[in-house]
A and B are shown apart, each in its own frame.
Chain A
């Protein structure tokens, strides 16, 4: 089994990109692959606790469930600060981290990298 790193750059309510990322991650985990996900730019909304879309899939809830099953989710701190998202506001099991340390490590550990962005 391999390691898949997904780099997501769209916000959770911008389009369906985050839904695609979550579905791809889930399918890969179901097959026994290790999956890591890095949220960059608008995709930092991925880890914001308290997401409650009324008519759309709740990406936050999916992320919460999947981190408990082994998905590693990290988002860019600089991008969070730019958008007023601070430590303590993230979904339990996710991390506000660093492009240099976390994404570089995730990419280095990956067998495949998929970019989900517009």
Chain B
């Protein structure tokens, strides 16, 4: 039996369905309430999902940012590995509520969850 699940998002927004699908899966976990904790961790290109400047209307796609906001609205936690994001885009603003963390903290978060699924 598992009480916690971490959704690890490694893919960037919009080129693939993966990041959106991962966010929806995490949201489903929060809504169902069957597990104590369902959190999201953005790493690698997945950190780009945190950028506030996203404009998915430009490609007529659903918003990954809104998908993450929905999780935050339900008191879910969304973490973003800061060095991965900064390496890619420098000092750009991220969605309020997303917690910027180091790799050491990311490892602690992984260890604190029983299940990990990757997108």
Interface residues of A (CB under 8 A from B): 7, 9, 40-41, 98-101, 103-105, 107-113, 115, 117
Contacts and interface: CB of A to CB of B under 8 A. Distances in A.
Contacts of B24: 99
B5 interface: yes
Interface residues of B, number: 20
Interface stretch (B29-37, B48-56, B79-87, B100-108): B29-37
B95 interface: no
Contacts of B59: none
A99 B117 CA distance: 14
5 contacts: A40-B21, A100-B28, A107-B2, A113-B116, A113-B117
Chain B interface helix/strand/loop/mixed: mixed
Contacts of A98: 28
A108 B117 contact: no
B17 interface: yes
Nearest to B117: A115
Contact of B1 (A40, A41, A103, A108): A108
B29 to A, nearest CB: 5
Nearest to A82: B17
